[in-house]
């Protein structure tokens, strides 16, 4: 996994069921916009609100729809449910598994390292670590990631800490391994690439996929300055669909882009009208920004 990945949304119909037709449409649109891989059942996909069977069905639909690599979110709170979900996702067509750090019991890095190592031993697909302290209240230490990087079936990490220091330490400590460091915060995407990250998994890429992807392509082509300019033009949009409005913001913005992603799953609620107006203004400004040349 390298380049720009999208933690794509999960569309629901009016009755609360997964809208697989709409999911196919969104996946097709994202692929047409030049992104490099898709990530179903992540935080932006309302994964904690899906049943295990629903997760598998989402992965299957995405894998059957796209020619891009599929990095499926399979992490649960316990080892056995995570392994089962990972095995089922692999059978459904996932190329790799993105596994969030379990958080309910506040496990430390020693326990988490053992958890990931055992999971990688048994997983039929490569495992990507997922550190997202905003939701789990725990940042996986770069030293722990580096230790796990030596495992043949641990392929990388998505670091959503938003910390450049963390990204740089991850890159430096895993440089000797076949291990992908993926930026999980769109605001620091270009900066993360500057310090050696291999790509990113970005919520904002749901709504501005071409512009998010352009950051990676310009950086790859040796135009880091224009990559940073492109990233700067998307910072407000990234903040709006993450820190400010979250998944309701992503789905509202997709509707504004002519790619409606259906209803939210409770307890999430649609944006009030004043927040929708603000989001629309931010989205228009981002889309009017000139793609880096």
The answer to whether the annotation marks 201 as part of a ligand binding site is: yes
Out of 91, 105, 115, 130, the active site residue is 130
Nearest CA among 132, 128, 165 for reference residue 148:
128
Positive or negative torsion for Cα 47, 53, 56, 62: negative
**64's tokens:** 């059957």
Residues in a beta bridge with 71: 96
Is 91 noted as a catalytic residue in this protein? no
Q: Report how far Cα 280 is from the mean position of its chain's Cα atoms.
A: 23
> Residue 24 and residue 135: Cα distance in Å, rounded?
28
> Residue 22 and residue 197: Cα distance in Å, rounded?
32
Q: Return the CA Rg of the chain.
A: 18
Is 158 noted as a catalytic residue in this protein? yes
Out of 91, 116, 134, 158, the active site residue is 158
> Residue 186 and residue 162: Cα distance in Å, rounded?
8
Binding residues for pyruvate: 201
Please give the positions annotated as active site.
130, 158
């Amino acid at each position: 996994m390298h380049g720009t990945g999208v933690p794509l949304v999960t569309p629901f119909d009016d009755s609360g069921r997964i809208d697989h037709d709409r999911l196919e449409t969104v996946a097709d649109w994202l692929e047409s916009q030049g992104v490099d891989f898709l990530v179903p059942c992540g935080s932006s996909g309302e994964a904690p609100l899906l049943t295990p069977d629903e997760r598998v069905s989402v992965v299957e639909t995405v894998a059957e729809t796209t020619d891009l690599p599929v990095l499926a979110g399979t992490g649960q709170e316990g080892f056995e449910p995570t392994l089962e979900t990972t095995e089922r996702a692999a059978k459904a067509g996932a190329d790799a598994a993105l596994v969030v750090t379990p958080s309910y019991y506040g496990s430390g890095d020693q326990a988490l390292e053992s958890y990931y190592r055992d999971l990688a031993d048994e997983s039929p697909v490569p495992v990507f670590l997922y550190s997202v302290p905003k939701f789990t209240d725990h940042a996986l230490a770069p030293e722990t990631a580096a230790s796990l990087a030596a495992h043949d079936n641990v392929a990388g990490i998505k670091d959503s800490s938003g910390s450049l220091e963390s990204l740089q330490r991850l890159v430096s400590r895993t440089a000797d391994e076949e291990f992908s460091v993926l930026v999980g915060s769109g605001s620091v995407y270009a900066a993360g690439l500057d310090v050696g990250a291999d790509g990113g998994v970005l919520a904002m890429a749901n709504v501005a996929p071409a512009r998010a992807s352009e950051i990676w392509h310009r950086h790859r082509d040796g135009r880091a300055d224009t990559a940073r300019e492109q990233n700067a033009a998307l910072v407000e949009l990234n903040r709006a669909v993450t820190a400010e409005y979250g998944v309701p913001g992503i789905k509202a913005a997709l509707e504004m882009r002519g790619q409606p992603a259906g209803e939210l799953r409770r307890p999430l609620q649609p944006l009030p009208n004043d927040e929708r107006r603000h989001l629309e203004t931010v989205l228009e400004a981002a889309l009017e920004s000139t793609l880096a040349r």
